[in-house]
Structure 1
Amino acid sequence: MNIGILGTGSMAATLGGAWVRAGHTVRIGGRSEAAAQATATRIGAAGHGSLAEAARFGELVLLAVPAAAAPELAGRLAAELAGRTVLDCTNALAPGADGLMLATPAGRSVAQQIAAAAPEAHVVKAFNLCHESIWTLDRLEFAGAPLTVPFCADAQPAQQAVSALITTMGCTPLPCGPLSRATYLEATAAFAIGAWWSGAEPRHAFPTPGAAA
């Protein structure tokens, strides 16, 4: 697949690197050409350029920018993103008196805000639950099983494209329903990251039903 990445930070580099290793053609787009070139060189991407150029390049486009900036950027590039599958890997989180909290209005995920800003794009919430370091691993397998990647999407072609992308990474796609359910993935990130920060292991809270059989 041709994948355009909007952003030059850690998630752009680690996910982009994972996709390069999986055989995809990646182009990095940034506000700074020097930063885009540096990230592209670091991961072995096929090219770099402006944000608009990366958006036009990708069959899939990753928004790897801060959550607060993602809807505005999607709106600014709405024409370039029209008809494309747009991946939102962001988490809008903020520490508070009660712990790590979602920094979005109740029931209004970042992914839904992006979809509203670029209504002709096919927005998918995905890749927001793992720390950036996980995507640097050559083998995405834990406890003897491939990593599962949950995602939410409305359009069937986008669901199929993201499932195929996840599979090429050696992972298992987990469809979690339409984009209206993206708020649950974002809330799950708040729960999991908060648990990790406290020194706990959130996966131990989710034994499979079969474990009781």
Structure 2
Amino acid sequence: MADALGTGWRRAGHRVVAGGRSGGLREAAESGTDAVLLALPYGAAAEVVAGLADVLRGRVLIDCTNPVGPGFRLLTAGGPSAAERIAAAAPAARVVKAFNLCHVDVWRLDPPVFDGRPLAVPLCGDSPPALSVVRRLVRDLGCEPLNAGGLDRAGLVEATAALLIGLWVGEGADAQAIAPPLTHAGPRAC
């Protein structure tokens, strides 16, 4: 995810600094970039973030993790979402849940457009300035940001990922066919 998204952001003119399992995480987090993308397996995310909490203070931290386990089961069911756990591990960071609904290959498309429509990316977060930064990063990939609510709604996006992954991978289903076009979705609430 870091490579695919980072490549897209580099193409758009952003400076990208990467850290990995072999080192450089602290240096990457301290780099002064607009945001830090957390592209780690869910099981390691909170611990890594806790170890970097001091350098993440005030930083935009983008969580693209998916707490999905065997059988496409949501690992956070009945508890805080992955994004909320990450926010608790680095309470002074400004966490935004984003980029978790698509496979890494989608992020390698330039741009990710399907049937003439740019990919929509739900964003959950509580910091308007952080959301503004992530909206710009979404648009710089050729996608359309969607306001999905506060960080307390990140669990819904994570559950959606578990459902979609299970349908796509487990069943080979065209999960996009679940939702009708907006014109057929019923009356809009006022």
Bin of the TM-score, shorter chain as denominator length: over 0.9
RMSD of Structure 2 on Structure 1 (CA): 1.4
Task: State, as a whole percentage, how many aligned pairs show the same letter.
Answer: 51
Deviation at 1:167, TM superposition (A): 1.1
From 152, 173, 179, the equivalent of 1:200 is: 173
Query: Kindly tell me: are residues 106 and 145 of structure 1, through their superposed partners in 2, closer, same or farther at Cα, counting changes over 3 Å?
Result: same
Distance in 1 of aligned mates of 2:185 and 2:21: 52
Q: Pairwise mapping of residues 1-213 of structure 1 onto structure 2 (< 5 A)?
A: 11-33=1-23, 50-57=24-31, 58-96=33-71, 100-197=72-169, 198-211=171-184
* 4+ runs deviating over 3 angstroms: none
Equivalent-residue separation in structure 2 for 1:126 and 1:139 (angstroms): 17
What are the superposed Cα offsets for residues 107-145 of structure 1, whole Å, 9 maximum, x if unpaired?
Answer: 411110010010000001000000000111112111111
Q: TM-score, normalised by structure 1?
A: 0.83
Structure with greater proportional strand content:
1
Structure 2 unaligned blocks of 5 or more: none
Contact 2:110/2:142, CA 8 A, preserved across alignment: no
What's the TM-score, normalizing by structure 2? 0.92
Task: Between the two structures, name the one with larger relative contact order (CA 8 Å, sep ≥ 6).
Answer: 2
- 1-structure distance, mates of 2:185, 2:151: 32
- Give the counterpart letter for 1:128 in structure 2: N
Is contact 1:107–1:183 with CA below 8 Å preserved after alignment? no
How many residue pairs end up in the alignment?
Answer: 184
- For residues 61 and 212 of structure 1, the distance between their equivalents in structure 2, rounded to whole angstroms, comes to 36
